């Protein structure tokens, strides 16, 4: 492939990505400033004038910051515990600790509702034990949101810190010790500075996820406002342009956060490729301490598994039979059978499967094309292409939903706009855009890790471009592709944020069916959907981890 | 007759000229070593030969056929990469078959050719092994077998021994030399190790800054280097500034720190002595000997001793501040001793005089 053709194809890909990713965002920006007769700041004034807009913006910001603090406070010590100390059950519990990751956001919220909601499992138990007249708490407002956030997002800190600790060279600890540094000084002066990129990476990911979080505020928010739910509410009211301004404000916060923590983006390169021996585990020797640590570990595991178990339990409960008893009086397969037998209820499952599959295949194809052009062939616009692919990560899902709904609600082929709203295709396109950062991150990293002389070796052995791609590049990229694809699939499969804004009756995904089952008090079926979602997500994750590791 | 010819090949990267008007020719079956420090352009030359880079000027010819613009895929030059670049997801047999399949060789013929290539590198029966199970030396031989299997016109070797344990290098060197002679393939090899270049190359081309400094047999390079760079890069030597006094009975008379030495014809690069006046003398350690301080000997103090086995290498600091390396029996002197330095009696060569301008 000549350099000119590479640049030509690169430009083509760039244009496509500009159209798919940047153009809708620009349109949102433009629409927010355009009234019936020309440019206007009316909507900005409206936005600034309303008290609840400021409340929502402030709510989003402080909830996200508080989530970072809470998640860090839980995740970092846990990571230290599991990577530095050896005690009974370390391996199993250490694995279970990552479990909240396989719980799609809406399913997690659902499980928390069953556990700690007004008639939740734990709430009832406490009410009974202490003989209270009313439930001990109400699962609503900022506290409830933070609880769910802390539970589902400490995993980021946990995984990042563990990866960072695993990347440390044992000789660093030994060097510090031989220089007379005690445990605390080593931690403060050596370990924490080395972990800083990992911690910043965890913080950034947590902040972005919390900022874009929709399920928890939507279900538990009550009167508490955050921007993501505010946008949806405003749009339901028909104030489209105000929604645009809200969208822009949320995007600005996200971009500022990204800019402040931009160093964290280099995390992978600083922690990934380091050589050396991983630090040895410190055995916990005193039997009493061992016992305590072990019990705490298992207690923690139970606490973390409780949502999953509750979901499983509720999914076997016949409709309307479980009211005040601590354990359900009857069990049934009915809820699951409903999913299979009733074509109307089976449809969301099939929808989610094909939507997520299509979005994943498209994301992988684009990522591979970007890898070939940008990493391998050093096409002219490689850096811009990579930046565009990463962009949707910095933009909350609600924002993209609005942007795509705006861009593709008009038929103007010359302006690159088509009517996709109300068709089958808007949702997969939205999933695709949201998946591109995850997928391309994994695939591009895979491309970078490939020894370029393998390609050259294939060339000297007479293999053309396609044969090299098919026989050498793609097989070697398989772990990266499988990892990226499985993450993308799971995200799309459990998506709620974008779906609630863009679905049609024919594309309604599982998450929306869970919501409507819940609204109809069909708790068992909602839980059964949740279990299916969780099981398929976990299976795909496991596949990704397995193939990703050995291939 | 010339089989492979490089005609004033030039390659620039931005402002730097990596390869500068390089011309070389190889006979059929000849093995040429490109030797030079890092940044000398030897790797770029090899990549130009393989077709991974295209030159800004110049041509590459194989048997008078211009292949300069032929894609690597169609060039039929085999290459062994520095880190071997074996395909880790394919087994040994599939790796070796890879190039044969490009030639549309299939079925029993493919099997036969793979087996033959493996037998050639003494790894018969290794077809189903995984790459990860092989030792470094075995991987290197598989890389050779893979490159040779499609019967390329030219074989390119990029630092073929740099990835091996030092203890393994010498043996592997012998195996490679023997194998390539047996196959009779025209070979270009890149290395920064002088031992490797001298042992493997029928001829050695010394490169610096993209320029060809000298090309010749190892013996020629050692015995009559064209300039101080070659003299110092090839073999151990030290340099000292001297004054040429004029012709003597058997050669030329020079003043080394005030002491007069007479040098034989062998000291003259290309048979020409520099004119009277300042000159640069490059001396091999074995061309000098240590004596007690005496008239006719350059006086100095032993600064360092490096043990190398049968003989030791002494570094002597002269009074004028030059540092000369001299080979002598291990226990003859100790650091701190005052000594004299004279040309060794048996050495005709090993001392080279250059005009002062060529650095």
Q: Is the per-residue pLDDT at A383 higher than 60?
A: yes
pLDDT in tens, B299-350: 999 999 888 777 889 999 998 888 999 988 888 888 899 999 988 866 567 8
ipTM exceeds 0.95: no
Chain B residues within an 8 Å CB radius of A457: 79, 81, 85-87, 146
The Cα B305–Cα B326 span in angstroms is 10
The region, left, alpha or beta by phi > 0 then psi within -120 to 50, assigned to residue A487 is alpha
Q: Is the per-residue pLDDT at A546 higher than 80?
A: no
Contact A456 B85 (CB under 8 A): yes
Specify the pLDDT at position A528: 92
Specify the pLDDT at position B17: 92
Chain B residues within an 8 Å CB radius of A482: none
Specify the pLDDT at position A551: 38
- If pLDDT is split at 50, 70 and 90, which confidence band does A326 have? low
- If pLDDT is split at 50, 70 and 90, which confidence band does B189 have? very high
Q: Summarize the confidence of residues A451-455 as an average pLDDT.
A: 90
pLDDT in tens, A202-226: 898 899 999 999 999 998 888 888 9
Which residues 6+ apart lie within 8 Å of B25 measured at CB? B2, B4, B5, B6
Q: Is the per-residue pLDDT at A323 higher than 70?
A: no
Laid out side by side, the sheet with B186-191 consists of: B77-80, B154-158, B186-191, B31-35, B203-208, B211-216
Q: Is the per-residue pLDDT at A1 higher than 80?
A: no
Specify the pLDDT at position B19: 94
Contact A462 B77 (CB under 8 A): no
Please name the member of B81, B87, B150 whose beta carbon is closest to the beta carbon of A462.
B150
- If pLDDT is split at 50, 70 and 90, which confidence band does B5 have? very high
> In this predicted model, which residue has the larger pLDDT, A41 or A11?
A11
**Minimal-distance CA residue of chain B relative to A455:** B85
* Residue B318, H or E segment: strand B312-318
Q: Summarize the confidence of residues A2-12 as an average pLDDT.
A: 85
Q: What's the token pair of residue B275?
A: 């004119």
* Residue B78, H or E segment: strand B77-80
Specify the pLDDT at position A337: 87
Torsional sign, CA A250, A254, A255, A260: positive
pLDDT in tens, A477-513: 998 899 889 889 998 999 998 998 898 888 899 999 9
Torsional sign, CA B246, B251, B255, B259: negative
Q: Is residue B98 within 8 angstroms of chain A, CB to CB?
A: yes
Which residues 6+ apart lie within 8 Å of B175 measured at CB? B122, B141
Q: Summarize the confidence of residues B1-14 as an average pLDDT.
A: 92
Specify the pLDDT at position A511: 92
Report percent pLDDT > 90 for chain B.
Answer: 55
- Residue A361 has a CB neighbour count (10 Å cut-off) of 15
Contact A451 B83 (CB under 8 A): yes
- If pLDDT is split at 50, 70 and 90, which confidence band does A272 have? very low
From the list A416, A434, A425, the residue with the least C-alpha distance to A19 is: A416
Contact A460 B102 (CB under 8 A): no
- Residue A360 has a CB neighbour count (10 Å cut-off) of 27
- 3-class secondary structure for A202-246? HHHHHHHHHHHCCHHHHHHCCCCCCHHHHHHHHHHCCCHHHHHHH
Q: What is the largest CA-CA distance in chain B?
A: 80
Q: Is the per-residue pLDDT at A105 higher than 50?
A: yes
Judging by beta carbons within 10 Å of its beta carbon (0-12, 13-18, 19+), is residue B172 exposed, middle or buried?
middle
The Cα A150–Cα A78 span in angstroms is 13
Contact A456 B77 (CB under 8 A): no
Chain B residues within an 8 Å CB radius of A471: 87, 90, 98
Q: What is the largest CA-CA distance in chain A?
A: 81
Q: Is the per-residue pLDDT at B119 higher than 90?
A: yes
Q: Is the per-residue pLDDT at A373 higher than 80?
A: yes
Chain A residues within an 8 Å CB radius of B82: 453
Q: Is the per-residue pLDDT at A550 higher than 50?
A: no
38-67 in B: which are within 8 Å (CB) of A? 50-52
Instruction: Name the 3-class secondary structure at A406.
Output: helix
Specify the pLDDT at position B358: 52
Q: Is residue B160 within 8 angstroms of chain A, CB to CB?
A: no
3-state helix, strand, coil in chain B (%, to 5): 30, 35, 35
Which residues 6+ apart lie within 8 Å of A490 measured at CB? A102, A104, A537, A540, A541
Specify the pLDDT at position A271: 39
Specify the pLDDT at position A275: 46
The Cα A66–Cα A262 span in angstroms is 20
**The CA-based dihedral angle spanning residues B20, B18, B192, B75, taken in that order and rounded to the nearest 10 degrees:** -80
Specify the pLDDT at position A285: 74
The Cα A513–Cα A498 span in angstroms is 14
pLDDT in tens, B36-73: 998 899 999 999 999 999 999 999 999 999 999 998 99
> In this predicted model, which residue has the larger pLDDT, A399 or B356?
A399
Q: Is the per-residue pLDDT at A260 higher than 50?
A: yes
Specify the pLDDT at position B49: 95
- If pLDDT is split at 50, 70 and 90, which confidence band does A257 have? confident
Q: Rounded mean pLDDT of chain B?
A: 89
Q: Rounded mean pLDDT of chain A?
A: 85
- If pLDDT is split at 50, 70 and 90, which confidence band does A333 have? confident
pTM beyond 0.90, yes or no = no
Torsional sign, CA A311, A315, A320, A321: negative
From the list B225, B188, B185, B186, the residue with the least C-alpha distance to B208 is: B225
Chain B residues within an 8 Å CB radius of A459: 51-52, 71-73
Contact A462 B50 (CB under 8 A): no
Q: Is residue B87 within 8 angstroms of chain A, CB to CB?
A: yes
Q: Are A121 and A133 in contact (CB under 8 A)?
A: no
Q: Is the per-residue pLDDT at A104 higher than 90?
A: no
Which residues 6+ apart lie within 8 Å of A104 measured at CB? A490, A493, A494, A495, A496, A511, A533, A534, A537
The Cα A534–Cα A108 span in angstroms is 10
Q: Is residue B146 within 8 angstroms of chain A, CB to CB?
A: yes
The Cα A229–Cα B92 span in angstroms is 58
Q: Are B313 and B327 in contact (CB under 8 A)?
A: yes
**The CA-based dihedral angle spanning residues A366, A371, A377, A383, taken in that order and rounded to the nearest 10 degrees:** 90
Specify the pLDDT at position B346: 60
């Amino acid at each position: 492939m000549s350099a000119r053709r590479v640049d030509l194809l690169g430009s083509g890909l760039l244009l496509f990505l500009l159209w798919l990713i940047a153009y809708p965002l620009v349109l949102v920006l433009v629409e927010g400033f355009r009234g019936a007769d020309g440019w206007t700041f009316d909507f900005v004034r409206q936005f600034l004038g309303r008290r609840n807009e400021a409340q929502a913006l402030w709510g989003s910001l402080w909830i996200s910051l508080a989530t970072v603090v809470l998640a860090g406070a839980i995740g970092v010590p846990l990571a230290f515990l599991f990577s530095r100390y050896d005690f009974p059950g370390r391996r199993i519990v250490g694995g279970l600790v990552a479990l909240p990751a396989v719980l799609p956001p809406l399913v997690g919220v659902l499980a928390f509702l069953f556990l700690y909601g007004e008639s939740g499992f734990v709430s009832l138990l406490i009410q009974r034990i202490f003989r209270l007249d009313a439930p001990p708490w109400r699962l609503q407002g900022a506290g409830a949101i933070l609880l769910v956030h802390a539970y589902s997002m400490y995993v980021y800190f946990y995984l990042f810190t563990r990866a960072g600790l695993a990347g440390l060279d044992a000789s660093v600890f030994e060097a510090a010790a031989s220089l007379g540094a005690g445990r605390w000084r080593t931690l403060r002066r050596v370990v924490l500075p080395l972990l800083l990129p990992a911690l910043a990476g965890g913080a950034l990911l947590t902040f972005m996820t919390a900022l874009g979080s929709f399920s928890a505020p939507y279900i538990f928010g009550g009167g508490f406002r955050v921007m993501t739910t505010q946008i949806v509410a405003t749009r339901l009211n028909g104030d489209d342009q105000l929604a645009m301004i809200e969208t822009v404000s949320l995007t600005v916060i996200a971009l500022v956060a990204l800019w402040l923590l931009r160093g964290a983006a280099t995390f992978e390169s600083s922690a990934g490729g380091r050589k050396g021996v991983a630090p040895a585990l410190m055995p916990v020797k005193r039997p009493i301490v061992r016992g305590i640590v072990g019990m705490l570990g298992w207690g923690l595991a139970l606490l973390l598994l409780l949502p999953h178990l509750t979901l499983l339990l509720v999914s076997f409960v016949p409709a309307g039979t479980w009211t005040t008893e601590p354990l359900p009086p009857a069990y049934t397969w009915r809820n699951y059978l409903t999913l299979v037998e009733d074509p109307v209820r089976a449809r969301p499952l099939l929808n989610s499967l094909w939507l997520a599959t299509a979005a994943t295949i498209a994301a992988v194809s684009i990522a591979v094309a970007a890898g070939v052009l940008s990493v391998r062939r050093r096409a002219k616009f490689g850096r811009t292409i990579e930046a565009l692919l990463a962009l949707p990560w910095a933009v909350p899902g609600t924002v993209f939903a609005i942007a795509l709904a705006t861009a593709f609600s008009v038929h103007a082929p010359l302006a690159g706009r088509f009517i996709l709203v109300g068709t089958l295709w808007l949702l997969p396109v939205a999933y695709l855009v949201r998946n591109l950062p995850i997928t391309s991150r994994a695939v591009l990293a895979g491309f970078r890790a490939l020894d370029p002389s393998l390609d050259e070796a294939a060339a000297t052995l007479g293999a053309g471009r396609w044969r090299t791609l098919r026989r050498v590049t793609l097989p070697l990229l398989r772990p990266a592709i499988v990892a990226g694809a499985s993450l993308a699939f799971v995200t799309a499969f459990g998506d709620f944020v974008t779906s609630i804004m863009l679905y049609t009756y024919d594309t309604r995904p599982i998450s929306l069916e869970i919501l409507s089952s819940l609204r109809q008090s069909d708790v068992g079926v909602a839980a059964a959907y949740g279990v299916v979602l969780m099981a398929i997500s976990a299976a795909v994750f496991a596949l990704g981890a397995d193939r990703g590791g050995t291939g | 007759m010339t089989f492979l010819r490089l005609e004033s090949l030039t390659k620039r990267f931005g402002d730097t000229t990596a390869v500068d008007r390089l011309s070389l020719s190889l006979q059929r079956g000849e093995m040429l070593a490109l030797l030079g420090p890092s940044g000398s352009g030897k790797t770029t030359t090899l990549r130009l030969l393989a077709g991974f880079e295209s030159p800004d000027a110049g041509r590459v010819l194989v048997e008078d056929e211009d292949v300069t613009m032929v894609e690597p895929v169609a060039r039929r030059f085999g290459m062994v990469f520095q880190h071997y670049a074996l395909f880790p997801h394919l087994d040994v047999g599939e790796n070796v078959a890879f190039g044969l399949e490009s030639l549309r060789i299939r079925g029993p013929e493919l099997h036969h050719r793979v087996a033959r290539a493996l037998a050639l590198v003494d790894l018969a029966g290794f077809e189903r092994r995984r790459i990860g199970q092989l030792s470094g030396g075995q991987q290197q031989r598989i890389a050779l077998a893979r490159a040779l299997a499609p019967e390329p016109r030219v074989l390119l070797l990029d630092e073929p021994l740099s990835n091996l344990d030092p203890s393994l290098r010498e043996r592997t060197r012998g195996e490679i030399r023997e194998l390539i002679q047996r196959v009779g393939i025209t070979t270009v090899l890149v290395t920064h190790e002088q031992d490797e270049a001298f042992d493997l190359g029928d001829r050695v081309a010394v490169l610096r800054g993209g320029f060809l400094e000298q090309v010749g047999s190892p013996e020629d390079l050692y015995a009559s280097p064209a300039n101080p760079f070659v003299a110092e890069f090839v073999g151990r030597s030290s340099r000292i500034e001297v004054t040429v006094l004029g012709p003597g009975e058997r050669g030329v008379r020079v003043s080394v720190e005030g002491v007069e030495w007479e040098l034989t014809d062998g000291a003259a690069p290309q048979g020409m002595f520099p004119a009277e006046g300042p000159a640069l003398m490059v001396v091999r350690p074995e061309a000098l000997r240590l004596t007690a301080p005496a008239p006719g000997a350059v006086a100095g103090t032993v600064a360092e001793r490096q043990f190398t086995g049968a003989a030791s290498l002494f570094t002597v600091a002269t009074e004028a501040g030059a540092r000369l390396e001299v080979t002598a029996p291990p226990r003859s002197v100790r650091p701190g001793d005052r000594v004299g330095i004279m040309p060794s009696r048996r050495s005709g060569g090993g001392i080279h005089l250059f005009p002062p301008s060529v650095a």
